[in-house]
A and B are shown apart, each in its own frame.
Chain A
């Protein structure tokens, strides 16, 4: 037996069937990773929507404050597009908060 044959014999490994336990381990890890990725994507989407909703409400408040008459008496409501918009945004924000609290 020459040197190359001896080296080849030294490194030779018997063929074996696939290790199904290891394959299952990788499948579980891949599944966990897929779920984690989906959860992160959902969380970021939710975060972006809530940021947008919060920004819209804050902007609406600011516009209302800038556009509304100064020293408005309490018995006179500031009716107009800005007031309607803030009402809609407020409702939306409330729904979003409820949805994020319940996780749906």
Chain B
């Protein structure tokens, strides 16, 4: 954590190598979150935007939470802007890219089915808490909603996921 804060401070001072180390540490989580949220549609371009925005506003990271949570918050904000600009209809009709291996493919299809039909907030809350291991407080901060709201969204998402798994 201290090392990460040090890297973040160096990045804020314009150290591109320190920022590259942060990208290397967090790109998998950010890209996975966005790929599942967008169902693969332009997720990598959005992830690039996330990291560029993080670079531009590197001095805004105060270190009061984890760097990953800060990146996830940027990702969520950019996703909302992009998603709302394009319209919800397209995103619901898009299919995610299918992974190469049979096991990963089956898992991705199961997850895709389970997430299908969930609203964007339910999907994001489930992805953050079940997929990325964020605490409820962290997820609420990332999504910029009160903790109670997050909990009720998450409960709805959980119920919907269980119903789909049983169907």
Which residues of A pack against B, CB within 8 Å?
A: 3, 6-8, 10-14, 16, 18-20, 22-23, 25-27, 29-31, 33-34
Contacts and interface: CB of A to CB of B under 8 A. Distances in A.
Given A12-B107, A25-B48, A29-B52, 8 more contacts: A7-B126, A7-B130, A19-B28, A23-B27, A30-B19, A33-B55, A33-B56, A34-B16
20 contacts: A3-B158, A3-B162, A7-B165, A10-B107, A10-B110, A10-B130, A11-B111, A11-B131, A12-B107, A16-B28, A18-B28, A19-B27, A20-B24, A22-B27, A22-B31, A26-B23, A26-B51, A29-B48, A31-B16, A33-B56
Interface string B15-57: 0100110011101100110000000000010011001100110
B131 A26 contact: no
Contact of A11 (B23, B48, B52, B130): B130
Q: B interface, by DSSP: helix, strand, loop or mixed?
A: helix
Contacts of A6: 162, 165
Nearest to B51: A26
Q: Which of A11, A30, A31 has the most CB of B within 10 A?
A: A11
B2 to A, nearest CB: 21
Contacts of A29: 48, 51-52
Contact of A27 (B20, B56, B158, B165): B20
| Contact size range, B | 20 to 34
A71 B34 CA distance: 77
B103 to A, nearest CB: 9
A3 B23 CA distance: 34
A26 B165 contact: no
Contacts of B51: 26, 29
A7 B55 CA distance: 34
Contacts of A26: 20, 23, 27, 48, 51-52
A23 B16 CA distance: 11
Interface in B140-154: none
Contact of B104 (A14, A23, A31): A14
B126 A18 contact: no
Nearest to A24: B20
Nearest to B111: A10
A18 B20 CA distance: 11
Contacts of B104: 14
B74 interface: no
B158 A7 contact: yes
